[in-house]
Amino acid sequence: MKDATVSSFATRKIHDAYSAAVNFISPPGVIEDRDELCPSVVSNGTKETIEYALESRFYNRKSGVMDKIEHLPALSYKFENVRVVGDQGYIYLPNGQLVAVCPEVCRIRRDKVRRPVPGMARRIETPVFHLTGNNHESHGHFVIQHLPRLMAVRERLLHDRSAKLLLAPGHRGWQQFYLEKLGFEPDCLLEGTPGTLSIDNLEYVPFFHGKENLVCSSIYREMQQLFVSGKTIKKDRFIFLSRKGVAHRALANEGDVFEECRRLWPKLERVDLYDYNSHEQIELFQSARVVFGPHGQAFTNMIYSKGALAVIIRPDSEIKGWSASFRNLAIQVGNEAVVLTAGVEGWKNKDNWVYSISRLKNQLSRLEVLLPPKYR
């Protein structure tokens, strides 16, 4: 959906210029107190234990390691006569305050926040559910962090056919695939604008994943059931997820790593997900028996798998961050998973890296001893 009077490009430039000038003079006031906005509790916070059985044996830990993860409650805010601005969907109350009850919004520098331009606002009279925000452009973040916000109120929204889902401009094409799997027809989708929307009735569920980046298993398992088809697919594929050609965190000796892995899994095939559309990716991961690769958002697709083994390799020596999150996600939806570390000293987040083949060879030998026959 483009702005009613000017192009999307012009809208973006005008709003950026306006925001830069206004923010320099007076940054927006914010409201961060959740109680002041009187949200309703959609689901209570939960605690969940995730056991790393295979990983504990691999690292010969004296006792099995289990993470007790706390998930935040899901809260729903109902707003009237608000303005929603830009790709991120910043919400401004009628009094001009920026709604910052979500930690992701609080991270935004106030001098960078896009501001509403009332004279350019497009009015939306139908009820709207807010489904954009930080990292909306990433498939991984959209699936495992944004969609749970929708899942929290999905049943109610499906029964209210007048409600629209507000998406970031330019992303409806690929996001529609996931939303149709969750039961939402194309006419329920409302593509936003880089500029200003004036919305009569807006529902907003902030992110409720905890510090581990994930929500509770029950939501991901429900999503898994909705994503995958009803047909049974033979689990006979061994997949190596390639990162060849990526701009950051490329595995420089990927070819050598792949060949070494084939000693353990002779049927291993190197896969570039860019060669697969969304439907094909679902079937690919449904059919996977083993998924091996450098940590990255490709492992989001483990949500389509059940009964598979995910082997995630990480450049440095610590099991943390997204590599731990992808391992947890795999386990949460019914798979086994282990993180192998390459021990690259001084590695920084976006650096390309090399996996020591001698280290990998020792790790795979150790892993082979521990694997059940179905993963060999």
pLDDT tens digit string along 136-173? 999 999 999 999 999 999 999 999 888 999 999 999 99
CA 328, 329, 334, 340 torsion-angle sign? negative
We report the CATH number of the domain holding residue 322 as 3.40.50.360
Domain match, 236 and 196 both:
no
CA distances 280 to 85, 285, 308, Å, are 35, 9, 17
User: What is the distance between the alpha carbons of residues 220 and 59, in angstroms, rounded to a whole number?
Assistant: 28
Pick from 102-116, 140-154, 274-288: least confident: 102-116
Backbone angles phi, psi at 270, to 5 degrees: -80, 130
Please state whether beta strands 336-341 and 309-314 pair in parallel, antiparallel, or not at all (unpaired): parallel
Same domain membership, residue 269 and residue 172: no
Length of the chain: 376
Tally DSSP H helices, then E strands, for the chain: 12, 17
Instruction: List CB contacts of 84: < 8 A, sequence separation 6 or more.
Output: 90, 91, 92, 128, 130, 166, 192, 196, 197, 199, 202
- Mode of pairing for the β-strands spanning 30-31 and 98-99: parallel
Closest by alpha carbon to 104, among 149, 59, 50, 66? Answer: 149
> Chain-centre distance of CA 195, in angstroms?
25
Mean pLDDT of 279-300: 95
What domain count does the chain have? 2
Query: How does pLDDT run across 23-67, given as a tens digit for each residue?
Result: 989 989 999 999 999 999 999 998 898 988 999 999 988 655 566
| Residue where a domain stops, chosen among 156, 180, 213 | 213
Last residue of some domain: 213, 242, 277? 213
- The confidence score (pLDDT) of residue 212 equals 81
12 & 136 share domain: yes
Q: Are strands 164-167 and 128-130 parallel, antiparallel or unpaired?
A: parallel
Specify whether 38 is located in the same domain as 184: yes
Could you tell me if residue 118 is inside a domain?
yes
**What pLDDT is attached to residue 62?**
66
Is it the case that residue 18 has pLDDT exceeding 80? yes
149 & 197 share domain: yes
Assess whether 28 and 145 both reside in one domain.
yes
241 and 184 inside one domain: no
Between CA 84 and CA 105 the distance in angstroms is: 13
The verdict on 132 and 208 lying in the same domain is yes
pLDDT level of residue 2 (50, 70, 90 thresholds): very low
Q: Is residue 314 part of a domain?
A: yes
| pLDDT exceeds cutoff 70 at 196 | yes
